């Protein structure tokens, strides 16, 4: 089965996971969600496959989150909308296989998932 890695090339952890997939001969597709932001529907599917709340997909330590969203009472739809508009707020990397996904941070999480 082909894996999908939602990848941010500027992120060291994301690059480590991508390298692990390459070095171990896994069949995968790379989605650069920074260049090609995910739709609301795609984010909803990821949240479901990760089995988490939308807020758990947010990089809460990002300055942009702290400056614009931290102290606001946002519902799940507003959070998903923000993730779609501002993709750098999405936790990374995310690796998907079929209907299951993980946030592969640290890269060791990939070992059990693959």
pLDDT tens-digit readout, 49-104: 999 999 999 999 999 999 999 889 999 999 999 999 999 999 999 999 999 999 99
Q: How far apart are CA 58 and CA 54, in angstroms?
A: 7
Mean pLDDT, rounded, of the chain: 94
| Closest C-alpha to 65, from 76, 75, 50, 55 | 55
Over the stretch 1-44, which tens digit does the pLDDT of each residue have? 799 999 999 999 999 999 999 999 999 999 999 999 999 999 99
Structure pTM?
Answer: 0.91
Write down all domains in the chain, each with its CATH number in brackets: 3-113 (3.40.30.10)
Q: Indicate which residues carry an active-site annotation.
A: 11
């Amino acid at each position: 089965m082909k894996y999908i890695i939602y990848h941010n090339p500027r992120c060291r952890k994301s690059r480590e996971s991508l390298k692990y997939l390459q070095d171990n001969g896994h069949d995968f597709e790379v989605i650069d969600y920074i260049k090609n932001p995910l739709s609301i529907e795609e984010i909803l599917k990821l949240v479901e496959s990760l089995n988490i709340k939308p807020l758990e997909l947010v990089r809460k330590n990002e300055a942009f989150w702290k400056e614009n969203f931290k102290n606001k009472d946002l519902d799940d739809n507003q959070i998903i909308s923000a993730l779609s508009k501002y993709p750098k707020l999405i936790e990374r990397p995310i690796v998907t296989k079929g209907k299951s996904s993980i946030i592969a941070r640290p890269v060791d999480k990939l070992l059990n998932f693959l």
